[in-house]
Amino acid sequence: MVPIPSVSEEESIKAAMATQLKKKELSDLHLRIIIKQEANQGNYQKAIAILDKLIARLPNSAIDYNNRGLMYLKIADYDQAMTDFNKAIALSPSLDRAYNNRGNCYAHQGNLSKAIENYEKALDINPYNQKVWINQGITLRELGDYPLAIETLELAKMIGNQYLGRIYAERGYTRYLMGDWNYAISDYRRALSYLPKAIVISKK
């Protein structure tokens, strides 16, 4: 017969299991910190390699699939990026970031209508995601709908101050394309007050 552990033994076993679980959680967190560091340094292939290990450990983690898809997007591997974004959405249909990133992937491939569809889905889930409003505004501009692009960027501006420099830069460029030179200059000046070093107009 297998002896039944005493209360103190049970507590020791539970404590040991909790310690092992905590170590694993810390290990996952540590990997994510390294991934972020590598991505910030532009080492996207290294970030992908670490994400491969993390996904092997956590095969149902939508966030990790989304992050790996973003790394693939950074290196213009659109097929792999799309596969990961689709997987992230399948695992977590309410993950607005995955729809935003999939929209960016479609935009990079030139499929602007599908990009808009994904941005709209992301905003249905989270209307306060400022990045999505900005990306939608940029894509509407690329479609030639300048008035709606301006309106969308205005909505982005109302959400918060985090990306105001980017918003003014994108709105300024849109007004430049419309021929509204004075308004464009005004927006560029405002953008410079938030982005003193440089203004880079590109989808993120």
Task: Name the residue with tokens 């310690």.
Answer: 19
Question: How does residue 198 score in pLDDT terms, banded at 50, 70 and 90?
Answer: very low
pLDDT tens for each residue of 127-156: 999 999 999 999 999 999 999 999 999 999
pLDDT tens for each residue of 63-100: 999 999 999 999 999 999 999 999 999 999 999 999 99
Of 139, 127, 128, nearest to 102 by C-alpha is 139
Give me the domains of the chain, ranges plus CATH numbers. Answer: 21-98 (1.25.40.10), 128-204 (1.25.40.10)
Question: How does residue 202 score in pLDDT terms, banded at 50, 70 and 90?
Answer: very low
